Amino acid sequence: MEEQRAEGERAEGLPIPDIFLNSDTKGPLTNCVQCDYDLMKGDRYYMIEKVFKKYPSFQKTEVLFEYAVCSTCYENMKDQMSAESMANLSEYMMMNTDFGAMQLRIQEFPDDPEKWLSHCMIKGTPKEEMTEFQMGACFKGDRLVTNFMPPFMIGELAMEEMNNLLSKETKDEMDDFMGENFGIPPELRKDLILI
């Protein structure tokens, strides 16, 4: 079956990298966290975001939280962000993302997306040197989609800088999202940046 895919389709048709699987079941995240849409039907794009925290004393990296959100809910969430926050965030990303380094990693390992995520895309910090980082990517069904944006990783420093760019109303919105969907205590909710 795989061989019969068209060339262009295959280019964006990598399977879900292990790092984006459900950390409990090791299978795909099958449903939208907000509307419960069945993402495995494969007719709607969706985003997966995960936040990791490393506990040096245990030599262990834990998933703080992970979710998949369908494109419809994702657009709604973005609509709820203030225009000011959106503008600040896009400007920050445009000015600070090291697109060249990202492109090089993709060229070097075209079939291994986890290797694209070896460094913070903003600061260039290697993953091994970070205690907290966030990853995200776009998918459709059981396939990684890279034509809107490649999978990304952002380390703690960039996360903090981006957080400081958000308006109070946007932070409140995100607080509500985290509380409603994960029951995450307020002191941890600051961790999520919606890209």
Residues near Zn ion (CB under 5 A): 32, 34-35, 37, 70, 73
How far is 113 from 37, CA to CA, in rounded Å? 26
CB of 173 to Zn ion, least distance (A): 16
CB of 68 to Zn ion, least distance (A): 9
CB of 108 to Zn ion, least distance (A): 35
Say whether 135 sits in a helix, a strand or coil. Answer: strand
Q: Where are the beta strands (DSSP E) in 102-182?
A: 132-140, 143-145, 152-155
| Residue 72 or 167 with smaller CB distance to Zn ion | 72
How far is 137 from 123, CA to CA, in rounded Å? 18
Say whether 138 sits in a helix, a strand or coil. Answer: strand
CB of 67 to Zn ion, least distance (A): 10
| Residue 32 or 184 with smaller CB distance to Zn ion | 32
| Residue 46 or 133 with smaller CB distance to Zn ion | 46
Q: Which residues contact 58 (CB under 8 A, 6 or more apart)?
A: none
| Residue 32 or 89 with smaller CB distance to Zn ion | 32
Say whether 48 sits in a helix, a strand or coil. Answer: strand
**Around 136, how many Cα atoms within 13 Å sit in the side-chain half-sphere?**
18
| Long-range CB contact pairs, 52-55, < 8 A, 24+ | 52/132, 52/133, 52/134, 52/135, 53/131, 53/132, 54/130, 54/131, 54/132
| Residue 16 or 70 with smaller CB distance to Zn ion | 70
CB of 181 to Zn ion, least distance (A): 11
CB of 75 to Zn ion, least distance (A): 10
| Residue 80 or 167 with smaller CB distance to Zn ion | 80
- Could you tell me the two tokens for 100? 């060249």
